[in-house]
Structure 1
Amino acid sequence: MTPTPRAAGLRAALTSRVVVADGAMGTMLQAQDPTLDDFQQLEGCNEILNLTRPDIVRSVHEAYFAVGVDCVETNTFGANHSALGEYEIAHRIHELSEAGARVAREVADEFTASTGQQRWVLGSMGPGTKLPTLGHVSYGVLRDAYQQNAEGLLTGGADALLVETTQDLLQTKAAVLGAKRALAALGADAPVLVSVTVETTGTMLLGSEIGAALTALEPLGIDMIGLNCATGPAEMSEHLRQLSRTARVPLSCMPNAGLPVLGKDGAHYPLAPAELADAQETFVRDYGLSLVGGCCGTTPEHLRQVVERVRELTPPQRAPRPEPGAASLYQSVPFRQDTSYLAIGERTNANGSKKFREAMLEGRWDDCVEMA
């Protein structure tokens, strides 16, 4: 498979400089007050606007490109099985994904032509509302639906696939492998980027540490790993430090504009544009980030200042020290032997195996090793 010139250019950019993505999408769409008819009576289903009000979606992409960002995310965060399923339109995954990519592609091409600066489209593949680890939906159903999502995005002109805001590692795997299947089915070659969401608790929603996410996802052949949503940049620093030390692939960070603050007019995000720019500049210098942007609460002004701050920066060359290991849902365990013997065996527990328990109690270690 040969990558398109745009996809090849994006890969090259991610390894040589800081690429800047856009900021919040949903709040900017809602600020234009689309009607119930615009949503085809499916209130809040932003992906419908790709067909009914592409002018609104275009205006958001234009606002971000106008301040100098390199790439925008498609308006397809909810174009997946569980999110569209709640509106009973899961059969429209491909249609709405392709429509969202086409709108972004048109705007990107216009800005490329008018400015001479190559602009890219990141196909947004959101987490949906069901967690397969908790049994809300089966893995196979999710994977196949994500393949439809990815095929629509690629057909519509996306230059990369961004699996974002993931909270469950099994859902993340379903999205990544759905994306890989889509690339194979279309004979395409495009980067697959993954951005996980770590809560203020210090783990993903289901308790996964960042090390577990890296151990589980990097072997799937992803092109990038990073963080987005849930918190502001301050809460992401230590997780980025860990990724910087151990990840073989490039890194990204798209924080919220701080933690939301509840006021009389509802929640707002307090981080000022200059503060986001400060944080992203520090992250690039300290952790060698290749892709930066914003998430909830960030505006074109936030991204304008980020662009100005990182435009001339060259990410320092990282020298990661990956450590082979295995991961459960919760944590990564390195293959490091502190003693001379390390055994890993599912049946080697005294509660689940009478045979093992008896061998252990009788000191028949050769039998224990054989079962392991």
Structure 2
Amino acid sequence: MTREERIARLKREITERVLVLDGAMGTMIQGYKLTEADFRGERFKDHPVDLKGDNELISIVRPDILRDIHLAYYRAGADFAETNTFSATSIAQADYHLEALAYEMNVESARIAREAATIAEGEASGRVCYVAGVLGPTNRTASISPKVSDPGFRNVSFDQLRDAYKEATRGLIEGGADTILVETIFDTLNAKAALFAVEEVFEEVGFELPVMISGTITDMSGRLLSGQTPEAFWNSVSHVKPLSIGLNCALGAKEMRAHIDTLSRVSDVRVSAHPNAGLPNEMGEYDESPEHMSHLVGEFATSGLVNIVGGCCGTTPAHIHAIAEAVKGVKPRTPPVVEPHLRLSGLEAFTAP
């Protein structure tokens, strides 16, 4: 099946049932207890800085591990594998002095996810598995100064973000991604740079992939780190006409529900939710069981709030299997008809009467 055929199938399936994203990548990689030598491999044995913890490098040095993780999620019932590219931008990889590898990381991660998808499809006749090419937020923010004494200072510019995201997007497309997922957005300006870059790449390659957008509410204030409410966030990115808008990370399903309800009410596209397995405990670990989490996320679906569900930090194939079972046979949300008005966004949303 060609990518064009998969995209057509995706657009049909999303109207017929609740689709399932995979779960945490970092949680799964940590389970392998990899050493510094594992991250270096032969290719990077003489690299001048430590590489342990650079999970995106796994796409190059241990593709077997990445393939197995994707397969575990597909076999658990996930429709999408998210590429292992959360920090695979030249900006984020600068911490490891691996800026030059960003493009290769994106290509290889998408390619490995596509290999796993093909294997999973071969195990179940008629099944189609999708690859969501991930663009993460980077470790810098265009909206907030990292210097308390200098509010106007920025350690990254819009154009620097745009260039990094363009490189990553090209790699994801070359590797075989079916969609582009701009996720864990804590700064809407970073996201706008990513979305601008994605649209530029689409113009350059001569075709478009569906775009998925997922923000993160960073605490109980109900706002992104850069200050926007969920509705204001939607107003800021709705011009892209994405396949879906949603939230992931930072919160568990219980804490996320009200914000998903807001997006479900105000957006005229599909809605996604992939929360953490509860809130972290005092050790920074996630304790919410697959059974409990699937009950909460399943209620999102039965209440008609979502079209795509999955898991973020702390979730495993067991969580995704339970979630997939909880939404099986549930009718997906029908996007509302939103009347045309002038809708603006600062930190709050404003709708002109």
1:309 matches 2:326: yes
Relative to the length of structure 2, the TM-score reads 0.90
Counterpart residue number, 1:178: 197
SS across alignment from 1:4 = helix
Counterpart residue number, 2:210: 191
1:226 matches 2:246: yes
Which whole-Å CA distance do the structure 1 matches of 2:124 and 2:157 have between them? 46
Counterpart residue number, 1:351: none
Larger mean CA deviation between 38-47 and 152-161 belongs to 38-47
Aligned partners of 1:258 and 1:271 also within 8 Å:
yes
Counterpart residue number, 2:38: 38
Which whole-Å CA distance do the structure 2 matches of 1:148 and 1:329 have between them? 29
Larger mean CA deviation between 36-45 and 322-331 belongs to 322-331
Counterpart residue number, 1:249: 269
The amino acid that maps onto 1:25 is M
1:121 matches 2:155: no
Question: Are residues 325 and 90 of structure 1, via their aligned partners in 2, closer, same or farther at CA, if it must alter by over 3 Å?
Answer: farther
Selected match of 1:169 from 188, 193, 202: 188
SS across alignment from 1:122 = strand
Counterpart residue number, 1:146: 165
Aligned partners of 1:126 and 1:166 also within 8 Å:
yes
Counterpart residue number, 1:296: 313
Counterpart residue number, 1:269: 286
Q: How many residues align?
A: 332
The amino acid that maps onto 1:189 is E
Counterpart residue number, 2:10: 10
1:70 matches 2:90: no
Spell out, residue by residue over 1:88-138, the C-alpha distance to the aligned partner (whole angstroms, 9 max, x if none): 222222111001001110010111122121111111111111001122200
1:132 matches 2:142: yes
Aligned partners of 2:27 and 2:316 also within 8 Å:
no
Which whole-Å CA distance do the structure 2 matches of 1:8 and 1:145 have between them? 29
1:189 deviation in Å? Answer: 2.2
1:176 deviation in Å? Answer: 1.2
1:323 deviation in Å? Answer: 6.1
Higher RCO, 1 or 2 (CA under 8 Å, sep at least 6)?
A: 2
Spell out, residue by residue over 1:25-61, the C-alpha distance to the aligned partner (whole angstroms, 9 max, x if none): 0121121122213322422111111111001111111
Spell out, residue by residue over 1:234-264, the C-alpha distance to the aligned partner (whole angstroms, 9 max, x if none): 11111111111110110000000111111xx
Which whole-Å CA distance do the structure 2 matches of 1:271 and 1:3 have between them? 36
The amino acid that maps onto 1:257 is A
SS across alignment from 2:181 = strand
Percent of residue pairs bearing the same amino acid type: 36
Relative to the length of structure 1, the TM-score reads 0.86
Counterpart residue number, 1:159: 178
Spell out, residue by residue over 1:160-208, the C-alpha distance to the aligned partner (whole angstroms, 9 max, x if none): 0110000001001111121222222222321110000012221001211
Counterpart residue number, 1:238: 258
The amino acid that maps onto 2:303 is D
1:317 deviation in Å? Answer: 2.5
Q: Which runs of 5 or more structure 2 residues have no equivalent in the other structure?
A: 41-49, 145-153
Larger mean CA deviation between 182-191 and 215-224 belongs to 182-191
Which whole-Å CA distance do the structure 2 matches of 1:102 and 1:225 have between them? 25
1:327 deviation in Å? Answer: 3.4
Q: Which structure has the bigger radius of gyration?
A: 1
Aligned partners of 2:269 and 2:335 also within 8 Å:
no
Aligned partners of 1:325 and 1:332 also within 8 Å:
no
Which whole-Å CA distance do the structure 1 matches of 2:232 and 2:56 have between them? 32
Counterpart residue number, 1:22: 22
The amino acid that maps onto 1:124 is V
SS across alignment from 1:213 = helix
Selected match of 2:278 from 246, 253, 258: 258
1:221 deviation in Å? Answer: 2.6
Selected match of 2:221 from 201, 208, 218: 201
Spell out, residue by residue over 1:254-311, the C-alpha distance to the aligned partner (whole angstroms, 9 max, x if none): 000111111xxx2221221112211222111224311100000111111111111112
Which whole-Å CA distance do the structure 2 matches of 1:295 and 1:71 have between them? 13
1:328 deviation in Å? Answer: 4.0
Aligned partners of 1:240 and 1:287 also within 8 Å:
no
The amino acid that maps onto 1:121 is V
